[in-house]
């Protein structure tokens, strides 16, 4: 997944993202997010018994693991949307839950798995909500706000769709509209919970390539959960593998995505193929690996 976005020739095509063309950007350093002995759960049910992890700024981090392993719960805690039972999620060495909500929203944006919008809302109306952390109470949008909204719509390939209702968009277009809202929010760190779920393959790649471009050209830190492990290995600088709420391994894709980990965490027998060596023979071993699933290690129950 190495192709670069180009300038849109018509509405609906993703735009090339200029590194210095983003209005209203601050000079604040990239946010640093971490978890320290983080214990998460609901009532007496523990989901994540204890997690210590650092997320390097300006990188793409992909959380992988079976359903129910705690990925979504961890992302919610990192975004300050749930209070830990113990330990802390830290943003720039300060507990995420202690940040004033508006200040936090200027540093961190989260796109949940199933975002909901009011009926009849248009693309531009949705994206304007991203300016809420920067507005004074009851104040109208200013020139900088409008510029940021227009920029977010343009770079997500939705120029010309401003007045279109969200309900009239395809799945990929709707997901790009929600990402545009996060970009209008002007945060330097974006958390996404399974952003490609329910999208067809073309729209999945569209979203992932947009996130790659934002990271590459804007320095956006991206933390997201993905079900497709090969896609995670292609787009992620770092994989975070989880099982039963615990960290199994974190590191570059070539170190994490191994046949042993696939067997231990996902209960499958697989063959790992080095992307670069398969395509170019003597290419460097640092290229992203991918795997071919051969069989399940869990016998069927008849």
Give the pLDDT confidence score for residue 284 in this predicted structure.
Answer: 39
- From residue 257, alpha-carbon distances to 62, 228, 245, 272 in Å are 12, 12, 18, 8
CA angle 26, 28, 32 (to 5 degrees): 135
- Nearest-angstrom CA–CA distance, 190 and 237: 15
Return the higher-pLDDT residue of 283 and 87: 87
Domain ranges for the chain, please list them: 33-252, 258-302
Tokens of 302: 């008849």
Give the pLDDT confidence score for residue 260 in this predicted structure.
Answer: 96
Return the higher-pLDDT residue of 20 and 150: 150
User: Would you call 235 helix, strand, or coil by DSSP?
Assistant: helix
Give the pLDDT confidence score for residue 198 in this predicted structure.
Answer: 82
Give the pLDDT confidence score for residue 300 in this predicted structure.
Answer: 86
Q: Residues 270-279: what's their mean pLDDT?
A: 70
Q: Quick one: pLDDT band at residue 285, thresholds 50, 70, 90?
A: very low
User: Does the pLDDT value for residue 269 go beyond 50?
Assistant: yes
Predicted confidence (pLDDT) per residue in 104-136, tens digit? 999 999 999 889 888 899 999 999 999 988 877
Predicted confidence (pLDDT) per residue in 44-78, tens digit? 899 999 999 999 999 999 999 999 999 999 999 99
User: Does the pLDDT value for residue 15 go beyond 60?
Assistant: no
User: Does the pLDDT value for residue 101 go beyond 80?
Assistant: yes
Q: Quick one: pLDDT band at residue 13, thresholds 50, 70, 90?
A: low
The proportion of the chain whose per-residue pLDDT surpasses 70, expressed as a percent, equals: 85
- Return phi, psi of residue 87, to 5°: 75, -170
Task: Name which of 135-149, 208-222, 278-292 the model is least confident about.
Answer: 278-292
Tokens of 149: 């909204």
The proportion of the chain whose per-residue pLDDT surpasses 90, expressed as a percent, equals: 70
Q: Maximum CA pair distance of the chain?
A: 65
Residue 277 neighbours by CB distance under 10 Å: 14
Give the pLDDT confidence score for residue 11 in this predicted structure.
Answer: 47
Give the pLDDT confidence score for residue 43 in this predicted structure.
Answer: 87
Q: Residues 269-291: what's their mean pLDDT?
A: 66
Give the pLDDT confidence score for residue 288 in this predicted structure.
Answer: 84
Give the pLDDT confidence score for residue 111 in this predicted structure.
Answer: 95
Inter-residue contact 16 to 76 (CB < 8 Å): no
Q: Residues 178-201: what's their mean pLDDT?
A: 92
Predicted confidence (pLDDT) per residue in 75-97, tens digit? 999 999 999 999 999 999 999 99
The CATH architecture annotation of domain 33-252 reads: 3-Layer(aba) Sandwich (3.40)
Q: Residues 15-27: what's their mean pLDDT?
A: 51
């Amino acid at each position: 997944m190495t192709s670069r976005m180009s300038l849109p020739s018509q509405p609906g095509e993703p735009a090339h993202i200029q590194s210095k063309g983003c209005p209203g950007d601050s000079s604040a350093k990239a946010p640093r997010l971490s978890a320290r002995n983080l214990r998460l759960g609901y009532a007496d049910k523990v989901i994540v018994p204890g997690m210590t992890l650092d997320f390097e700024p300006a990188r793409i981090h992909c959380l992988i693991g079976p359903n129910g392993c705690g990925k979504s719960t961890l992302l919610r805690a990192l975004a300050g949307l749930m209070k830990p039972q113990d330990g802390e999620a830290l943003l720039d060495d300060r507990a995420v839950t202690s940040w004033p909500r508006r200040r936090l929203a200027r540093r961190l944006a989260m796109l949940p798995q199933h975002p909901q919008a009011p009926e009849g809302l248009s693309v531009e109306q949705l994206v304007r909500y991203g300016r809420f952390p920067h507005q004074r109470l009851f104040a109208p949008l200013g020139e900088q706000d409008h510029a940021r909204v227009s920029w977010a719509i343009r770079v997500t390939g939705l120029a010309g769709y401003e007045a279109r209702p969200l309900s009239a968009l395809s799945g990929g277009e709707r997901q790009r509209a929600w990402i545009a809202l996060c970009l209008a929010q002007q945060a330097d760190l974006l958390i996404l919970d399974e952003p490609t779920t329910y999208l067809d393959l073309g729209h999945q790649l569209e979203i992932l390539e947009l996130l790659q471009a934002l990271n590459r050209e804007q320095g956006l830190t991206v933390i997201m959960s993905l079900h497709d492990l090969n896609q995670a290995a292609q787009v992620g600088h770092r994989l975070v593998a989880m099982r039963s709420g615990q960290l199994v391994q974190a590191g570059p894709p070539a170190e994490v995505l191994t046949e042993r980990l696939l067997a231990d965490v996902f209960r499958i027998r697989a063959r790992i193929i080095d992307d670069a060596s398969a395509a170019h023979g003597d290419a460097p071993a640092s290229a992203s690996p991918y795997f071919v699933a051969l069989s399940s290690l869990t016998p069927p129950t008849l």
